[in-house]
Chain A
Amino acid sequence: MSAAPAEPVQFKRASDRSLLIYFGHKITRQAHEDVRRLLCLLELEPIPGVRNLHPAYCSLLVTFDPLQSHHDRLEKILLQYIGRLDKVALPEPREVEIPVCYGGDYGPDLIDVSSLHGMTPEQVIALHSSSSYLVYFLGFVPGFAYLGGLPEALVTPRLATPRRKVPFGSVGIAGNQTGVYPVSTPGGWRLLGRTPISIFRPERKDLSLLAIGDSVRFAPISPTQFAALERA
């Protein structure tokens, strides 16, 4: 159980059909849990006219049909929802393990990242796979999880020139973030490895492997295991 939002909630109109709700302006676990609670409540008790929800680190973007609702009315209703957040119990975080084949063609930037930090590739792998990461939210592209908890020693700037195409399943780091590319896109993250398992699975009912609030670990695997899992 947690108390009401630590910071006063702030509303900001994002467009004539959307409203941003900020739980402070810092990436904190408290803000994350407030976002999750409000998301949870809005999914359980949808507000008529609301069309879409975009959770992020410390904000939630609510999109509505401008013919059915407007900012002022929505703010009023949302304040009532926010007043009830302390009664929303979040489920225990799921533990998800993602197998990763590090280095080589799977992680073409592993060597560079190692030398940037004066470590061996083995040390980088050990560090990256020893942490547990929190899924702050999914966004950017379908199924992409914004993961928090990258060890300080692995904080690395983005590539100066993004790659035109990063293969899906690639596991990368950028700044203090790490993540898995669910689909092939251009990208500037430094690639440490690749997972053979699908992150975004349109054919399944649970489209995304990861969900907001999950706890994620990366487990190193060999190229042989990668090939076996890819076939599975």
Chain B
Amino acid sequence: MNEIRVQSPGLLTTLQDLGRDGFGPLGVSASGAADPISLRLGNLLVGNPQGAAALEMTLLGGTFLFPQSALIALTGSDFGAALDGQGVASATATNVSPGQTLHVGSTRSGARCYLCVRGGIVVKPFLGSASTHLLTGLGGYEGRALRKGDVLRIGPPVAPLPENRPTATAIEQLAPRKLLRVTPGPQNDSFPQPALHAFYTSTYRVAEDSNRMGLRLEGHPIMREAGGEMITEGVSLGAIQITVGGLPIILFVEQQTTGGYAKIANVISADLHSVGQLRPRDEIRFEPVDWETARSLLLAQEKLLASEDTLFK
């Protein structure tokens, strides 16, 4: 079986697919790619099923040796990659010759870059998914971030090679945003009008201690009249909870499955991948949208991804 040998892992590189949904009753969150749009795009480029397992690199990429030939695509943020010293374009299927080394540098835009390889990366799935769940040390490659010396196995291709590449327009329209669109959270009503106003007009900064479990935000604190904690309930992906101190936390892919803080809003499905590209110190704002808008934005995004005519011209 063909391999990828990890010569240096980068800052935090994990194996991810589209996650394991359905284990909420056990307290297991879905995990999966922080920017699933980029993962899907990368897999489309190399002719994989959209949910094939790939490498998710964070802020600083790694160095990977390919002993055999391979077809790869780098998607998501531009980390300035080079193959034996030759620059590799983002969002382009690239042939790798046996013995070549891919060096992925540090980010020039957002938080995450995906390395997809034709055939996908193969591991024993945990609960039906190859995604790494870092908190519990489960799934992915031995349940952890990659280390120097790890050897990844590449699976056999399961579909014919695509002939074209995504159009610039499609990629542009799928690019991450810093103005996150949100729907009202289940406790939206428990926040007084001035608090809601502050939330929707303030700029928030992503804190350093943000990760795949959640993004902590710094900025204008949001205060509620009634006491902070409520009866613990299930929390959804992208929920924006307000902690006792009034600062928001966006619950993310490796989130806790239940929680006791009030949720003021929830990032819409079409903008979740944008959350995955946020870096510490990035500045973001929130824009309220109605349920119908949230739905039509997601439908438009899926259309863009599903339509080969739009993507591959």
Contact = CB atoms under 8 A, between A and B. Distances in A.
Interface of A: 12-18, 20, 25-27, 39, 43, 51-61, 63, 66-67, 70-71, 137-144, 146, 183, 185, 200, 202, 207-208, 212
B233 A20 contact: yes
B257 interface: yes
A45 to B, nearest CB: 15
Contact of A138 (B26, B137, B239): B26
Contacts of B22: 51-52
Interface of B is mostly: mixed
A143 B27 CA distance: 6
Interface of B: 21-28, 30, 126, 133, 135-138, 183-186, 231-239, 256-259, 263, 266-269, 291, 294-295, 298-299, 302
Contacts of A67: 298-299, 302
A202 B257 contact: no
A14 B186 contact: yes
A17 B182 CA distance: 12
B256 A141 contact: yes
Contacts of B237: 15, 17, 63
A39 B302 CA distance: 30
Given A13-B186, A139-B257, A142-B136, A202 B126 contact: yes
A54 B27 CA distance: 8
A72 B294 CA distance: 15
A51 B18 CA distance: 13
7 contacts: A14-B234, A15-B266, A16-B268, A17-B269, A60-B234, A138-B26, A139-B258
A56 B236 CA distance: 13
A14 B239 contact: yes
